[in-house]
Amino acid sequence: MKITGVEYVEIAASSRGNWIIAAVETNAGIRGIGEASQSGNDRLTKEALLQLGERIEGMDPTQPEVIWEQMARCTDIFSGDVGRALATAISALDQAIWDIAGKALEVPVWRLLGGKRREKIRLYANLNRGTTDRSVEGFATAAKRAVEAGFRAIKCTPFDEVRHDNIDRDGIERDLDLGVARIAACREAAGEEVELLVDCHCRFNEFLAQNVADKVRGLNLYWLEEPLPRDQTEAMRTFCQNSGLVIAGGESFFGRQGFMDYVDHRAVHVIMPDVKHAGGISECRRIAAMAETKNIPVAPHNPAGPVSTIASVHIAATIQNFLILEYAFGEVSWRHELVTPEEQIEDGFMVVPTGPGLGIELNAEVMEAHLVMSPN
């Protein structure tokens, strides 16, 4: 069996971004899919998918790690010069190739990865993309809705008004207090039994990060995510040691080299590789193994569509140091219809699929109803 080409579709998800789904074709008629969303530059990502497709044409898709190495070599992914768009394209093709390998051998991807350690994957509901009402009351409503849907862990992103480049100004304390009020509203709406996570999107300096940590200490957070710019490893390490909170981060790093400083210096308590950006299934597994040597848990970053979600589920099912998986809650009402079989979520856990490959296929009718553009 050989790879014969790469295609993609772009699906209109929400005002916060579209879902780009790559498809790898073979001469055996087996097709694999992977997700390439949220690169920050969809045009470049789509171009990279096609260019990489030409590079891997003729290769055997039952050897995903060999193909991954070929893609990494031809793009120099670890040089530090590669952009997020190119890394996202590599990651999507890797997901699709694992999907083909599983289908060809008639086994789930998790079996190819060594077997599943768990039957269900614990999720937390990311409220951000579904929370269009950014008032304190809007955050509370979103939290309540997720809990009513069965989630027992939720994440809010409450500091909209704060940016790292505008923190030295009047009114910053007011904006911090508004963010904390949103967090408190989520806590009250969700109740004390629900885990509450907070994403800061790298908006603070060290002083403001500690200020926020002090303000939220009584709200019983599960973690505080990316309070500082990602490249400030030493500052993150110091904050991680002194904040009194669990700190998570690393959602935008590419490859093991991208995560190495965080792992070696213990800059965070929890690392968050994203299967769409970190190098796909192949490299996320290796990142998790590297973190395991330091007893660092892995919580895959995944505020995206159902294809990357199911790819993340296969990773989460197989790694020893898995903690919890992100789920984009409430972004679009038709999400569950886009893939078959539908995502199976029970009481805040996703059931690991048992079908061959990733275990899902796109629903052509639903996909076509929401296409931004036709397949290339």
pLDDT for the residue numbered 80: 42
Side-chain half-sphere exposure of 286, counting CA atoms within 13 A:
15
* pLDDT given at position 84: 85
Write the DSSP string, 176-227: HHHHHHHHHHHHHHH-TTSEEEEE-TT---HHHHHHHHHHHGGG-EEEEE--
Two domains, one topology: 3-107 and 112-362: no
- Cβ contact 351:330 at 8 Å: no
Residue-wise pLDDT tens digits, 4-17: 999 999 999 987 88
Which string of b and e fits 238-249 if b means at least 16 CB within 10 Å?
bbbeebebbbbb
Where are the domains positioned within the chain?
Answer: 3-107, 112-362
Token pair 């979520």: residue: 345
Q: What is the CATH number of domain 112-362?
A: 3.20.20.120
Residue 40's pLDDT is 85
| pLDDT at res. 169 | 76
Architecture of the domain whose range is 3-107: 2-Layer Sandwich (3.30)
Tens-place pLDDT, residues 165-193: 777 777 899 999 999 999 999 999 999 99
- Count CA atoms closer than 13 A to 239's CA, side-chain side: 32
Residues of the chain with pLDDT under 50: 78-81, 374-376
Predicted TM-score (pTM) of this structure:
0.95
- The rounded percent of the chain whose pLDDT value lies above 90 is 88
